[in-house]
Amino acid sequence: MGHGSRIDSQQLLATLARELEYAGAMCERVESLVTQLVRANRGEEVEVNLFEIQALDMLIQHLAALADFTQRLSNQETDGGLDVETAAAEVKLADLAGRLGAPIHLKAPLPSVATSGDLDLF
């Protein structure tokens, strides 16, 4: 087991909650994509935004990385707290790994999931 930073559970849960909220925002982008695809299937002329297709891939990767990070934490022995830095170092998405590995910086901005000029269908 590494000797990385150890934090209390409240900080860790707050960080995970922010990342799950971000994943939820990506789900909204995917919901918009599905709506457009349904409209296109009905014969309506719609323009599918490439970002929304990419958002689905981003969401899948983000959730897989969060699941892997959480699993790595659950496999640790908890004497003296969780070794977040070591678990985060194994996360494949660099920006997510940075946010998870530095949970003291809870105000670190998440990437934007919105783009300007998109049609809001809801």
More confident residue, 110 or 87: 87
pLDDT exceeds cutoff 80 at 67: yes
Instruction: Give the pLDDT band of residue 109 (cuts 50, 70, 90).
Output: low
Question: Which tokens go with 69?
Answer: 């990070």
Nearest in space to 75 (alpha carbons), one of 61, 86, 63, 62? 86
- Cα separation of 110 and 93, whole Å? 13
> In the block, which residue shows the tokens 């998870």?
100
- Which burial class, exposed, middle or buried, applies to 55 when counting CB atoms under 10 A from its CB (0-12, 13-18, 19+)? buried
pLDDT exceeds cutoff 80 at 117: no
| Model pLDDT, residue 5 | 55
Q: Kindly report whether the global pTM for this prediction surpasses the value 0.75.
A: no
